[in-house]
C-alpha cells in the first residue's frame, strides 16, 4: 500500500477546507482527482507534500505504512513524495541544475546513498530532459525564471523524473499546455509508471486522462470525495459537468 488517507480534516486559520477525506492508493495505480474550483484539490496535494500553512485537525495519512503527517517536507521528499506544483516558483539566481542536484543529493544522502558529482548528475539530467523534450540550456537558467507556462510544467515533470518518486502528485500539470506539450508530458509520466510506484493526478480535463489512463477517478466537492469510479467517470463529468453530482451531494 502506498498511500492511505483516513478521515482527513484540514484547514487554515479555523476554516475547514478538507472535511473528511478517505483515499487509498496501491502500488502501480494512477488515481485522478477532479472537482470544481475551490473544492480543495490543491489543499489535499499541499497537505500531502507538507505545506505548513494548513493545519490537520483530524484523521491520518500513512505513506507506505508510516505516518506522513509527522514528516517535514524534505523528509517526505526523501521518503519518495513528489509534488508537481500548480504554480511552479521562480527562483532568480539559482540555476536549475544546481537546484535539482542539491535536492537529489540531499535525498540520496538521507538514504545513505552516494552523492552524484556534477558530471554524473549531468548525465542523468540529460537523459531525463529527453523524456520531456526540453533543451539542455534550461539547466543553466535560473529555476523557472522567464520560463513560459508550458515550460514550467514540463520542468516539473523533468524534476519528477530525476527524483524518481514513489508517489508523484501532479497538480493541474496539464493546464496551460498546448496539445503537443500535453502529449509529451503525458508520455513522460507514463514512462515513469512502474509496479512499485503510484500517481495522484489532479486535473480539470478529461483529455489528460486519455493519455494517462487512471485506475480510479475521484470527484472532490467541498472538501469531500463524493464519488469514485473508473475512467469512464471522467468522460461522464466532461459531458455533464458537476451539477448532477452537486445536487446528489446536497440531498
Ligand X SMILES: Nc1ncnc2c1ncn2[C@@H]1O[C@H](COP(=O)(O)OP(=O)(O)OP(=O)(O)O)[C@@H](O)[C@H]1O
**Contacts to another protein by CB under 8 A:** 49-53, 72-74, 76-78, 82-83, 85, 88-89, 91-94, 99-100, 102-104, 106-107, 110, 142, 159, 163
Q: Which does 83 bind (CB under 5 to 8 A by kind): Mg ion, ligand X, another protein, none?
A: another protein
Which grid coordinates belong to 33? 482527482
* 42 touches Mg ion by CB under 5 A: yes
The minimum distance between CB 86 and Mg ion, in angstroms, equals 5
Pick one of Mg ion, another protein, ligand X, none as the site partner of residue 193 (Cβ within 5 to 8 A by kind).
Answer: none
CA–CA distance from 163 to each of 27, 33, 167, 189 (Å)? Answer: 18, 23, 11, 13
Contact flag: residue 43 with Mg ion (CB under 5 A) = no
* Identity of the residue, 13 or 135, whose beta carbon is nearer to ligand X in the bound complex: 13
Q: Which residue has the cell 503527517?
A: 69
For Mg ion (CB under 5 A), the number of binding residues is 3
Q: Which is nearer to another protein, 83 or 209 (CB)?
A: 83
Helix (H, G, I), strand (E, B) or coil at 213: coil
Q: Hey, CA dihedral for 64, 66, 70, 74, is it positive or negative? A: negative
Pairing state between β 81-84 and 167-171:
parallel
Euclidean distance between CA atoms 108 and 113, whole angstroms: 5
Contact positions toward ligand X, by CB under 6 A? 12, 17, 35, 37-43, 53
Amino acid at each position: 500500500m502506498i498511500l492511505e488517507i483516513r478521515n482527513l480534516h484540514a484547514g487554515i486559520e479555523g476554516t475547514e477546507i478538507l472535511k473528511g477525506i478517505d483515499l487509498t492508493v496501491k502500488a502501480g495505480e494512477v488515481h485522478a482527482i477532479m472537482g470544481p474550483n475551490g473544492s480543495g484539490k490543491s489543499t489535499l496535494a499541499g497537505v500531502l507534500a507538507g505545506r505548513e500553512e494548513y493545519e490537520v485537525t483530524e484523521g491520518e495519512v500513512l505513506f507506505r505504512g508510516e505516518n506522513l503527517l509527522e514528516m517535514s517536507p524534505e523528509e517526505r521528499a526523501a521518503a519518495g513524495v513528489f509534488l508537481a506544483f500548480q504554480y511552479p516558483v521562480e527562483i532568480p539566481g539559482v540555476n536549475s541544475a544546481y537546484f535539482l542536484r542539491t535536492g537529489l543529493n540531499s535525498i540520496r544522502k538521507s538514504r545513505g546513498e552516494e552523492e552524484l558529482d556534477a558530471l554524473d548528475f549531468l548525465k542523468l539530467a540529460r537523459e531525463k530532459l529527453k523524456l520531456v523534450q526540453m533543451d539542455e540550456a534550461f539547466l543553466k537558467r535560473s529555476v523557472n525564471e522567464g520560463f513560459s507556462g508550458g515550460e514550467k510544467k514540463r520542468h516539473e515533470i523533468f524534476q519528477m523524473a530525476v527524483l524518481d518518486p514513489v508517489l508523484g502528485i501532479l497538480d493541474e500539470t496539464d493546464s496551460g499546455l498546448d496539445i503537443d506539450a500535453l502529449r509529451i508530458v503525458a508520455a513522460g509520466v507514463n514512462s515513469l509508471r512502474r509496479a512499485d510506484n503510484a500517481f495522484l493526478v489532479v486535473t480539470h480535463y478529461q483529455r489528460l486522462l486519455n493519455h494517462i489512463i487512471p485506475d480510479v477517478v475521484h470527484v472532490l466537492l467541498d472538501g469531500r470525495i463524493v464519488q469514485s469510479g473508473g475512467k469512464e467517470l471522467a468522460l461522464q463529468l466532461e459531458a455533464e459537468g458537476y451539477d448532477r453530482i452537486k445536487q446528489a451531494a446536497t440531498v
